[in-house]
Chains A and B, each alone.
Chain A
Amino acid sequence: MPRRADLKKIMLLGSGPIIIGQACEFDYSGAQACKALKEEGYEIVLVNSNPATIMTDPEMADKIYLEPLVPEIVAKIIERERPQALLPTLGGQTALNLASQLYEQGVLQKYQVELIGADYQAIKKGEDRQLFKEAITEIGYRVPESGTAHNLKQAIKIATTIGFPVIIRPAYTLGGTGSAVAYNVEEFKELAEIGLKASLTNEILIEESVLGWKEYELEVMRDLKDNVVIICSIENFDPMGVHTGDSITVAPVQTLTDKEYQKMRDAAIAIIRKIGVATGGSNIQFAVNPENGQMVVIEMNPRVSRSSALASKATGFPIAKIATKLAVGYTLDEIPNDITKKTPSYFEPTIDYCVVKIPKFNFEKFPGAVPQLGTSMKSVGEVMAIGRNFKEALQKALRSLEERFSGLEDIKLEWPVEQGLKVANPQRLFYIREALRQGKSIEEVYQLCNIDRWFLANIEEIVRLEKKLKKAKGKPLSFAMLKQAKEFGFSDKQLAWLTGCPELQISKLREKYGLQAQYKCVDTCAGEFVAETPYFYSTYEYSEITTARQ
């Protein structure tokens, strides 16, 4: 289907101020949406209260309203501008909530503004835990056992029926604000009250705990012809219990067999259809029991999310841009792949590298805050790194955090190692390193933190190489050892510290050995097609290639 000709003017909602759980990723998605709509010749009315954004630059939209994102004000703008449609799925939860309110107050109906991307029913089903649970159960999948409460008495009754520990999730909040885990009735009472207050509708969900299960996310796209594709699969390094925004995450999934991955893929497709997101991207989260593979659906965001920004950069598939084009009537096969130009966007990206995201925290700016991670989001940003293996991507990401890490290295740890493993915290990676360095087995570490053994084994490889490098202190590094260290993501600075050899000398040695960074392509297709506009990542993959011609 071509673009919709019945629409002339489209209103786009931004996400307002930058807060925890809603940062510049929504400026990125909003700016992408503006560009995509402009490309199609639509008149854009943009509302965002945050002027410190790219999307509110004068050339981005036709009309820009720097006004509060509240229904009363937006209603006035609608009355004045009379857009035919409202696109609420690119401005985070703020835009989605605002669109819901405008619908509930009858504003959209009064001025005949159509919600495109996701309609009111879909937004409702995605956000209202009870409706979501019903929808998921109807299509044969399971969500954790749960119940909704509007007051403390109700809440306690539900919690005791499910059994502790339970998770408390307030309905309609940003970035999981107010979500918490309660291990007993006393804790529960306190946390439930906070949750009830945090919810826009004074409503909390009390849920069976799936703490320690493996957590996964799929980024899904759907068009008006009901075509559905998976853009990216993500496996969380941190198991269930840590908010996805605060988890270290890895793309693509690493420890699922194809059978298990396909089961999850099927579920994701069924869910986006059932919830009724007409067009665009959604993020669907799953938990998998590491003992038996049992899978439950955790939640769905019927909109572009922080994970979509990550998935876009991780795969080369511009989710926000494509979501916008789908919202105005295009189908996936009509939009060319931005990178290959020749193949259509109707495909599932495949990647030939490993992507690691590490959240960035700023606990020092919040005096009194305990650096402990849970179900409500505390990170203020994130970094992403690409490598040819997990070890390289992980160490690159650590260096990108701007916390002066030169990789996975010795840092001062405040807590005893066991506590640092057991309690999720921003430095857990370093506690894992320390535990393995002290000689704890992968199994022992796993029992304390429930982080998948595959990730732990990779960290152990880094630790083992670190020991080998330390042993070689004083001697010049051999080609083989330096090659392996670079492939494992060690920086020259790290190597200098480990071997006692100045950084500059390491760099010179690399030059001598021919171990230079290579730049490999992010092209959506693992090299199957020629990339016209790819972007690149650095990697120290070294492979011996020679030629012998007759």
Chain B
Amino acid sequence: MKGHLVVEDGTIYTGKIFGARAVRYGELIFNTSMTGYQEILFDPSYKGQILAMTYPLIGNYGVNTEDCESERIHLEGFVVREKSRIYSNWRAQKSLEELFKEQKVVGLEGVDTRKITETIREFGALKAGIFPGNRDKREMVTLVQKSPSLVGRDIVSRVIKSEAYTWQNFGKYKVVVLDCGVKYNILRLLARLNLKVVVYPATAPWQEIEKEEPDGILISNGPGDPEPLKTVVSTVSNLVGRHPVFGICLGHQILGQVFGGKTYKLKFGHHGANHPVKDLTTGRIYITVQNHGFCVDQRTLDETEIEITHTNLNDGTLEGMAHKKWPIFSVQFHPEDAPGPRDTEYLFTKFYTLIENAQES
């Protein structure tokens, strides 16, 4: 079936719909990873976004149950150049198309994803919509222009569970994960370190989290604009100073605000698996996985208790920070990878050490 990707600037890309035949709106972004479409699809951080993959051949190795990063696909639409007709991999269980039909996800194929990328590079992330079938072009553009923007909206509550749950009920220490849209690999890596892992929704009151008597707290990744998340920021404000804290992506942006920093929107964000990040404390550089459209403004951290620990080599933006006195650190990139290089997984061990040290003292 024919379908259109309609961008707020009036550009309409016509291709073929696969998966659900429904209208979807979202912020149009691109991801430059060549492998890992399944993990990307299941990453809750893409809520509210229509994602175009720069790599043109998608679906080659199918999908399987092991590589899911959450319970379901959260993104609004998925745009590819060519969806593979067959899949080939010993772990594959079904095709991308079958998955999309099951989960009622809208996909669009056969469009010039390079052109889309260049447009986003030039004009920044834009509002967009996917429309199946034939419709009046002006009407579609108007609908897209009227659709809500990602900026200023709290969409975390739309991807998280309402109740707390236990991921692993045994372990040397207990970590509470404050779920803003957590990827399973964060939980898997904590569990692998022999940690008891309990997950609380970001909306939980801080007193309830304290009742768990955690030995450490991890504030997870998640979707959307960090600025409107006032309640979560206030929850975390009450938890810092009491426990070792590790923040990842949105969790890092929340911590930034807790310590007086401000966030801003990047032109088109970082979405890919090849971003070089420098650890300023050691001089080492790592290839990191990134997926964020907002960033903590370094200048707003100048006279705070926060020290900058990591920066991006491509554009100099803030990638990591630590508290000067307390055992608190956070990174903008994804040390839990999935998909992407596993070069910074060691940060989970660093978190473990902070917990261990806090217990000993």
Interface size counted on chain B using CB atoms at 8 A: 66
B39: A residues at CB distance < 8 A: 258
Also in contact, A354 and B57, with CB within 8 A (given A229-B287, A257-B64, A548-B140): yes
Whether A52 is near chain B, meaning CB under 8 Å from some CB there, is: no
Q: How far is the CA of A528 from the CA of B32 in the complex (A)?
A: 8
Whether A361 is near chain B, meaning CB under 8 Å from some CB there, is: no
A261: B residues at CB distance < 8 A: 35-36
Also in contact, A257 and B91, with CB within 8 A (given A252-B34, A352-B56, A389-B57): yes
Q: A389 contacts B274, CB within 8 Å?
A: no
B89: A residues at CB distance < 8 A: 255-257, 260
Also in contact, A290 and B90, with CB within 8 A (given A346-B276, A349-B274): yes
Q: A453 contacts B86, CB within 8 Å?
A: yes
Whether B117 is near chain A, meaning CB under 8 Å from some CB there, is: yes
Q: Which of A388, A442, A528, A546 contacts B56 (CB 8 A)?
A: A388
Q: How far is the CA of A283 from the CA of B113 in the complex (A)?
A: 31
Q: A544 contacts B57, CB within 8 Å?
A: no
Q: Which of B252-281 contact A (CB under 8 A)?
A: 272-276, 278
Contact with A along B128-160 (1 / 0, CB 8 A): 000000000110111001000000000000000
Q: A548 contacts B10, CB within 8 Å?
A: yes
CB distance from A300 to the nearest CB of B (A): 20
Q: How far is the CA of A525 from the CA of B118 in the complex (A)?
A: 11
Q: A292 contacts B90, CB within 8 Å?
A: yes
Interface size counted on chain A using CB atoms at 8 A: 60
Q: A354 contacts B137, CB within 8 Å?
A: no
Residue on A nearest B53 in the bound complex, by CB = A352
Segment among B227-235, B294-302, B334-342 that sits at the interface with chain A = B334-342
Contact with A along B100-139 (1 / 0, CB 8 A): 0000000000111111011001000000000000000110
Q: How far is the CA of A233 from the CA of B55 in the complex (A)?
A: 14
Also in contact, A352 and B114, with CB within 8 A (given A454-B86, A550-B142): yes
Q: B57 contacts A258, CB within 8 Å?
A: no
Q: How far is the CA of A549 from the CA of B278 in the complex (A)?
A: 44
Whether A529 is near chain B, meaning CB under 8 Å from some CB there, is: yes
Q: A354 contacts B56, CB within 8 Å?
A: yes
Q: B285 contacts A332, CB within 8 Å?
A: yes
Whether A520 is near chain B, meaning CB under 8 Å from some CB there, is: yes
Whether A461 is near chain B, meaning CB under 8 Å from some CB there, is: yes
Q: Which of A220-279 contact B (CB under 8 A)?
A: 225, 227, 229, 233, 252-262, 265-266
Q: Which of B36, B117, B138, B287 contacts A347 (CB 8 A)?
A: B287
Whether A84 is near chain B, meaning CB under 8 Å from some CB there, is: no
Q: A454 contacts B339, CB within 8 Å?
A: no
Q: How far is the CA of A266 from the CA of B345 in the complex (A)?
A: 12
> Among B85, B90, B338, B342, which residue has the most Cβ atoms of chain A within 10 A?
B90
Segment among B11-19, B162-170, B242-250 that sits at the interface with chain A = B11-19
A353: B residues at CB distance < 8 A: 56
CB distance from B132 to the nearest CB of A (A): 15
A544: B residues at CB distance < 8 A: 13-15
A528: B residues at CB distance < 8 A: 30, 32, 54, 117, 121, 272
Also in contact, A352 and B67, with CB within 8 A (given A258-B35, A266-B342, A332-B285): no
Q: How far is the CA of A550 from the CA of B86 in the complex (A)?
A: 41
Also in contact, A258 and B338, with CB within 8 A (given A343-B314, A520-B114): yes
Q: Which of A457, A521, A548 contacts B86 (CB 8 A)?
A: A457
Residue on B nearest A252 in the bound complex, by CB = B34
> Among A353, A388, A525, A545, which residue has the most Cβ atoms of chain B within 10 A?
A545
CB distance from B340 to the nearest CB of A (A): 7
Q: How far is the CA of A229 from the CA of B273 in the complex (A)?
A: 12
Q: How far is the CA of A453 from the CA of B287 in the complex (A)?
A: 32
Whether A217 is near chain B, meaning CB under 8 Å from some CB there, is: no
Q: B10 contacts A350, CB within 8 Å?
A: no
Also in contact, A350 and B85, with CB within 8 A (given A266-B342, A343-B314, A543-B13): no
Also in contact, A350 and B32, with CB within 8 A (given A333-B276, A549-B10): yes
Q: How far is the CA of A232 from the CA of B275 in the complex (A)?
A: 15
Q: Which of A366-392 contact B (CB under 8 A)?
A: 388-390
Whether B70 is near chain A, meaning CB under 8 Å from some CB there, is: no
Whether A68 is near chain B, meaning CB under 8 Å from some CB there, is: no
Residue on B nearest A453 in the bound complex, by CB = B88
A453: B residues at CB distance < 8 A: 86, 88
Q: A347 contacts B276, CB within 8 Å?
A: yes
Q: How far is the CA of A120 from the CA of B244 in the complex (A)?
A: 47
B14: A residues at CB distance < 8 A: 543-546
A461: B residues at CB distance < 8 A: 85
Q: A333 contacts B112, CB within 8 Å?
A: no
Q: A545 contacts B313, CB within 8 Å?
A: no
Whether A414 is near chain B, meaning CB under 8 Å from some CB there, is: no
Q: A255 contacts B32, CB within 8 Å?
A: no
Q: B57 contacts A390, CB within 8 Å?
A: yes
Whether B33 is near chain A, meaning CB under 8 Å from some CB there, is: yes
CB distance from A400 to the nearest CB of B (A): 21
Q: B115 contacts A543, CB within 8 Å?
A: yes
Whether A114 is near chain B, meaning CB under 8 Å from some CB there, is: no
Q: How far is the CA of A263 from the CA of B264 in the complex (A)?
A: 35
CB distance from B142 to the nearest CB of A (A): 7
Residue on A nearest B339 in the bound complex, by CB = A258
CB distance from B17 to the nearest CB of A (A): 14
Q: B56 contacts A333, CB within 8 Å?
A: no
Q: How far is the CA of A293 from the CA of B278 in the complex (A)?
A: 34
Q: How far is the CA of A461 from the CA of B276 in the complex (A)?
A: 39
> Among B14, B32, B34, B86, which residue has the most Cβ atoms of chain A within 10 A?
B34
B140: A residues at CB distance < 8 A: 548
Q: How far is the CA of A526 from the CA of B116 in the complex (A)?
A: 11
Q: Which of A523-550 contact B (CB under 8 A)?
A: 525-530, 541, 543-550
Q: B67 contacts A257, CB within 8 Å?
A: yes
Whether A434 is near chain B, meaning CB under 8 Å from some CB there, is: no
Q: A550 contacts B88, CB within 8 Å?
A: no
Q: B138 contacts A550, CB within 8 Å?
A: yes
Q: B57 contacts A350, CB within 8 Å?
A: no
Q: Which of A266, A351, A457 contacts B85 (CB 8 A)?
A: A457
Whether B309 is near chain A, meaning CB under 8 Å from some CB there, is: no
Also in contact, A526 and B32, with CB within 8 A (given A352-B54, A454-B88): yes
CB distance from A226 to the nearest CB of B (A): 8
Q: Which of B33, B112, B117 contacts A543 (CB 8 A)?
A: B112
Whether A348 is near chain B, meaning CB under 8 Å from some CB there, is: yes
Q: How far is the CA of A347 from the CA of B276 in the complex (A)?
A: 6
B110: A residues at CB distance < 8 A: 543
Q: How far is the CA of A259 from the CA of B60 in the complex (A)?
A: 14
Whether B356 is near chain A, meaning CB under 8 Å from some CB there, is: no
Whether B307 is near chain A, meaning CB under 8 Å from some CB there, is: no
Q: How far is the CA of A259 from the CA of B91 in the complex (A)?
A: 11
B66: A residues at CB distance < 8 A: 259
B115: A residues at CB distance < 8 A: 543, 545
Residue on B nearest A542 in the bound complex, by CB = B112
Q: How far is the CA of A545 from the CA of B13 in the complex (A)?
A: 5
Whether B61 is near chain A, meaning CB under 8 Å from some CB there, is: yes
> Among A252, A261, A293, which residue has the most Cβ atoms of chain B within 10 A?
A261
Contact with B along A317-346 (1 / 0, CB 8 A): 000000000000000110000000001101
Q: How far is the CA of A526 from the CA of B32 in the complex (A)?
A: 7
Q: How far is the CA of A233 from the CA of B86 in the complex (A)?
A: 21
Whether A219 is near chain B, meaning CB under 8 Å from some CB there, is: no
What are 29 contact pairs spanning A and B, CB under 8 A? A252-B55, A253-B35, A256-B35, A256-B89, A257-B91, A258-B340, A261-B36, A262-B342, A265-B341, A291-B90, A333-B313, A346-B276, A351-B34, A354-B57, A389-B57, A389-B82, A390-B57, A453-B86, A521-B114, A541-B81, A544-B14, A545-B13, A545-B14, A545-B112, A546-B14, A547-B10, A548-B12, A548-B138, A550-B138
Contacts A350-B32, A352-B114, A454-B84 known; 11 new A-B pairs at CB < 8 A: A255-B88, A257-B35, A257-B38, A258-B38, A260-B89, A291-B90, A353-B56, A389-B56, A457-B85, A528-B117, A546-B14
Task: Sort A-B residue pairs by CB-CB distance and give the 5 closest, nearest first.
Answer: A258-B36, A258-B339, A548-B137, A543-B112, A526-B54
